[in-house]
Amino acid sequence: MKNEVFDILRKKRLSMPFFKKVIFFTAVLMLLTACSNSQPVPVEKQGFYMGTFISEKVYGENAEKAAGEVMDKMKQIESSMTINAPGGEVNNLNMQSGNQKVNLSEETLYVLGKAKHFSTLSEGAFNVTVGPLVKAWGIFTQNPRVPEKGEISRLLSLVDDKDLTINEQEHWAKLSKKGQVVDLGGIAKGYAGDAAINIYKKYNIKSAYINLGGNVVVLGSKPDGTPWKVGIQNPRAQNGVYMAVLSVKDKAVVSSGDYERYFEKDGIRYHHIIDPKTGYPADSDLIGTTIVADLSIDADALSTATFVLGLEKGMRLAQSIEGVEAVFITKDKKVYATKGLEENLKMDDESKEFEYVKKR
Ligand code: FAD
Ligand code: MG
């Protein structure tokens, strides 16, 4: 930009009276100042992995390399942790259920270990062995259906993460009953967000933003030093319409809700978050949850878990974990947040349907 300005300058200088020259040089000076004060331009990349649109915005010298490596990492995580396409480690673990141990990479074992940890903390509201039920309901497939009661109770006997044994020292895991299915849909995008941040840090990036279909993770602040703004989806409006905004630095902001994936039959909405105790889509008093945490894997597991638990138990769980904050949206359109978010949460609800309840 500066070179172009100097070129124009050289050409114009030849044929100008003095007073015009003064005005002209002042204007050029102002333009140059504006150029040097302008915001840095981010590297932006998009991809479609894990059934999700992923976009990133990365600032800094190595942004191009870092952003490219992140997309490669997304692809690799998808292929090793998917159950929606053939191949990969998790499919292998599921295929050997009731049969034998399966050797797994450190990162898959880490995600499985985290899943078991959050299952214990949430008293089973989060459960990665929910796979047989997820498959039976087929929500977001070509053939979603309401399974028969008998089928649900038969499949519930396969949902128990105590049947998932993990041995991190020897690098293997095993599912003890035939037909059991691990589904990392509620946690692996969270892991992928943390993996992205680690890549940015490796390249000495100080400011970056990545959105994995509603799982947002930010590194540092915006280049001008102000916090990143992350919108909270209005659960009853079309995708991209927000009802509140969170200001955050160095945080993961992860949401779950009954609006993301669902089908309707006979006027009933059947969504994709299954209550592992009933086998049916969770039917608490919530329609949306958002968790703010340092690690996106934690936020992902907790957004799903608290959605199943409902407002009171979900709030208690979020408050019991250090560094975790939460926003809950109830069926009667009330918004509750943990105390630590008081400064960061601003309602921005065009619909005027949601009420922020400050609870003490
Ligand atoms: P979350 O609340 O974070 O998770 C809900 C998901 O977790 C459910 O969809 C289910 O899979 C699982 N789940 C349901 N109930 C529970 C429970 N009680 N405890 C624990 N887990 C539960 N989708 C596609 O359409 N096509 C694909 O090819 C595809 N590939 C994927 C590959 C990978 C590796 C991953 C992780 C996901 C993939 N998905 C795919 C799934 C898709 O992206 C999911 O919708 C997404 O993971 C759900 O995230 P969420 O943030 O909407 O909801
Ligand atoms: Mg989740």
134 lines ligand 1 (CB under 6 A): yes
Does pLDDT of 235 surpass 60?
yes
Give the residue extent of every domain in the chain: 4-79+187-356, 82-183
DSSP codes, 23-80? HHHHHHHHHHHHHHHSPPPPEEEEEEETTEEEEEEEESTTHHHHHHHHHHHHHHHHHH
> CA 24, 26, 30: angle at the middle one, nearest 5?
115
304 lines ligand 1 (CB under 6 A): yes
Using the mean position of ligand 1's atoms as its centre, give its distance from the Cα of residue 165 in Å. 22
Which pLDDT belongs to residue 25? 54
Which pLDDT belongs to residue 23? 55
Average pLDDT of the chain? 91
pTM of structure: 0.90
Instruction: Determine the average pLDDT of the residues in 281-300.
Output: 97
Q: Each residue of 96-145: pLDDT tens digit?
A: 999 999 999 999 999 999 999 999 999 999 999 999 999 999 998 889 99
- Residue 303: nearest ligand to its CA? 2
Name the helix (H) or strand (E) containing 307. Answer: helix 296-309
- Residue 130: nearest ligand to its CA? 1
Q: Each residue of 149-196: pLDDT tens digit?
A: 999 999 999 999 999 999 999 999 999 999 999 999 999 999 999 999
161 lines ligand 1 (CB under 6 A): no
- Residue 302: nearest ligand to its CA? 2
Using the mean position of ligand 1's atoms as its centre, give its distance from the Cα of residue 187 in Å. 8
Q: Each residue of 255-279: pLDDT tens digit?
A: 999 988 889 999 999 999 999 999 9
**Cα 302 to the chain's mean position, in Å?**
11
- Please state the CATH superfamily assignment of the domain spanning residues 4-79+187-356 in this structure: ApbE-like domains (3.10.520.10)
Instruction: Determine the average pLDDT of the residues in 320-346.
Output: 97
Does pLDDT of 24 surpass 60?
no
Which pLDDT belongs to residue 358? 78
**Cα 45 to the chain's mean position, in Å?**
17
DSSP 274: B
Could you check whether 4-79+187-356 and 82-183 share the same CATH topology?
no
CATH number of the domain located at residue range(s) 82-183 in this protein: 1.10.3980.10
The SS3 call for residue 358 is coil
State residue 354 phi and psi, 5-degree precision: -100, 140
